[in-house]
Amino acid sequence: MKPTPCMVLTMAVLLAGQAQAAPKYRVEILPPLPDRWVTFDSYDMNDHGEVLGRGNSGPVIYSQGSYRPVDALDPSKVGGVWLTAMNNKRDIALTLNDGASDRERPYVLKDGQLIDITPEGAANRPFFPGMVKDINESAQVVGYYGGKTFFYDGQRSRFVDVGASENADVLAWGLNDAGVIVGNINDPAGRSGGFIYDHGQVTYLDRLMPRDINNADQVLGGIRQSIFRPVRTVIRDSDGSLRTLDGFYGSDLNDRGWVAGYRDGDTGGFEAQLFRGGRVHDLADLLVHAPQGVRLQAALEINDSGQVFGYGWKQGLGRISYIATPVPELESQALLLCGLGLVGTVTWRRRRGHGRRDIQPSRA
């Protein structure tokens, strides 16, 4: 078969894409809040690129260039607010202190309604902050209360038994859309380390201390080599194998297995990092157009679209927040161009054929 121009173009672009060192990103510096000088405290980013954060006047969501206050979480009405996570439906997991009981309680904000998800039996536990840690797309929530992990399934909230001793702290850290939980056990008298809780089935992870789990059942965590040596970032794949990502701290994991994080910079401070395509990249090296005077210090969140959220520093401004978005890859552009060309060719041939039929003499 004789190759068409489109096939030749596609092959050339694919080969060029393979030779390309790394994917590219464009960076957006978030505008200052009206009530704050430069930036805001951020907590989570969903797959739409919306960022959950907090200004001086309370919780806000940054979306498409502007901030929108979360009216249901006005601190003047609900008391102290500690944000944790937000899903694609803008359901928010958080912790509240109303000031009356002087005790933090876990909540979920769903469809504009605040739902108290304090686990059953919590009143019998000694005082300990009740903190939520993650929320999935079904608005299921995981957290800990009184030093024990709890799970809210959308209807009821209950403690999870991972087989640890009563005096152990069992602290959840992450949750995927299938309701699989990861967390850490700190038991001075017995088992310590990480765990995976999958609907009653517990897998212990020994020295691995999980931070997150994605929908491919990959676990992001860290292993401390010794008291005097730093924690090494590790990805545990679904088959139990471990991959060590040396040189940086991984803070978030998406469903593609990409990791956002940071490392100690060569000249002091932190530098934003991205694990993708089997290697760790300096995020600053991947920018199409690097803003002048900007240093990307940390990558905190990465969504399933590959967008990265973090904070940095801009000369003359100070601390900033940013979103780095992948630009269309060469392969995608080539396929899109060829697809448009194919549609155009078919349409042109049909029009030519239709014209010829119109001018054919009648056989009647």
Residues 175 and 213: their CA atoms lie apart, in Å, by: 6
Q: What is the DSSP string of 113-150?
A: EEEE-PPTTGGGSPP---EEEEE-TT--EEEEETTEEE
Residues 259 and 349: their CA atoms lie apart, in Å, by: 48
Question: Considering only 44-58, 88-102, 303-317, which range has the smallest mean pLDDT?
Answer: 88-102
* Residue from 275, 295, 293, 299 nearest 284 by CA: 295
Question: Considering only 104-113, 188-197, 216-225, 287-296, which range has the smallest mean pLDDT?
Answer: 188-197
Q: Determine the straight-line distance between the first and last CA of the chain, rounded to whole angstroms.
A: 41
Question: Considering only 20-29, 110-119, 224-233, which range has the smallest mean pLDDT?
Answer: 224-233
**pLDDT averaged over the chain?**
82
User: Which range, 8-17, 36-45, 322-331, has the best average confidence (pLDDT)?
Assistant: 322-331
Domain limits, the chain = 23-51+257-329
pLDDT band at 105 (very low <50, low <70, confident <90, very high): confident
**How many CB atoms are located within 10 Å of the residue 194 CB?**
23
For 283-300, letters b (16+ CB in 10 Å) and e give bbebbeeebeebbbbbbb
- The answer to whether the Cα torsion of 325, 330, 335, 339 is positive or negative is positive
Residue with tokens 């001086």: 56
- The answer to whether the Cα torsion of 338, 339, 342, 344 is positive or negative is negative
pTM confidence score: 0.82
Indicate whether 282 pLDDT > 70. Answer: yes
Return the CA Rg of the chain. 25
Residues 297 and 137: their CA atoms lie apart, in Å, by: 29
* Residue from 241, 240, 269, 246 nearest 259 by CA: 246
pLDDT band at 158 (very low <50, low <70, confident <90, very high): very high
Token pair of 61, please? 């969501």
Residues 191 and 200: their CA atoms lie apart, in Å, by: 18
48 vs 248, more confident: 48
Summarised one tens digit per residue, pLDDT across range 306-349 is 999 999 998 888 888 999 999 985 444 444 455 545 444 444 44
